[in-house]
Amino acid sequence: MNDVDDELLRELRGRVRRVVGPVAASGPRKRVMEEELLAHLIDVYQEEACVGAGVGASAEAAGRRLGDVAELSRQLQASVPLIERVVFTWLGGKDNPMSRFWRIVGGIWGVAALVTWAFVFAMREFRVPSMVVLVVGVGLVALCWARPRVSWLVGCLGVLFGTSMILPALAKYAKDHAATGFPLLVLGALIVVGGLGYVAYGVAVRRVRTA
C-alpha cells in the first residue's frame, strides 16, 4: 500500500476542488462529488505508484486519467438538476456585484412575487392585469440580465409600474372596503420593492465597473 501523506492529500484535494468548485450545485451535492472524486484519485494514485512511478509522476498520471478539469466541471454541471443549477448559479455567480446576503434576499423576493402573482392570477377579475404584470416583469428581468448597466432604469420603471398597481387598489379599498384588491396591493408592493432593489443593483454595477 502506497500511503498518502498530508502534502499529497492536499494536492489531490486541490485538484478535485478545481473540478468541483465551479459547479453550481448545493453544498451536500458538491461534497458527494468531492469525496467520491478524491477517493477515486487516491485509488488511481495508489495503482500508478504500485507499478513503480514516483510520487509526483503517480499524482500527475492520476490527474491525467481523471481528464480535463474544465471539461469534467462542465459534465458534472450538466448532471445537476435544472432548478438547482439555476438557484446556485444565482447564489454563486462570482461576477455578481451583490453580496451573497442580498442575492438570498433577492431570491426570497422572487419566490414571494411568484407566489403572490399566482394568487392574483387565480382571481378571475385580475387574470388580464396579472398576465400584463407577468409579461412586463419577465421582460424587465430579461433586460436586466442582458444589460446589467440599465438595471437602475429598469428599477425605476418597476417602481412606477408597482405604484400604478398600488394606488388604484388603495383607492378601491378606500371606496368599497373590499379586500378583493388585497393580493393586487401585495403584488404591487413587491414590484415596488423589487424595483428599488434593481435600482440599488444598477448603482452597484456602475460602481464596480467604474472602479
Partner 1 sequence: MASIGGDTLRGHLEMLILATLGRGEAHGLEILRRLEAGGCGLLRLKEGSLYPALYRLEAAGQIAATWEKETHGRRGARRRIYRLTAKGGRRLKEVRGEFEQFVSVVWGILGVPT
Q: How far is the CB of 40 from partner 1 (least distance, A)?
A: 5
Q: Cβ closer to partner 1: 68 or 125?
A: 68
DSSP secondary structure string for all residues of the chain:
-----HHHHHHHHHHHHHHHTT----HHHHHHHHHHHHHHHHHHHHHHHHTT--HHHHHHHHHHHH--HHHHHHHHHHTS-HHHHHHHHHHH-TT--S-HHHHHHHHHHHHHHHHHHHHHHHSGGGHHHHHHHHHHHHHHHHHHHH-GGGHHHHHHHHHHHHHHHHHHHHHHHHHH--GGGHHHHHHHHHHHHHHHHHHHHHHHHHHHHH-
Q: Which of 14, 21, 56, 67 binds partner 1 (CB under 8 A)?
A: 67
Each residue 146-185 as x (binds partner 1 by CB under 8 A) or -, in order, gives ----------------------------------------
Q: Which residue's CB is nearer to partner 1, number 66 or number 203?
A: 66
Q: Does 71 sit near partner 1 (CB under 8 A)?
A: yes
19 is a contact residue toward partner 1 (CB under 8 A): yes
The verdict on 21 binding partner 1 (CB under 8 A) reads no
Contact status: 31 vs partner 1 (CB under 8 A): no
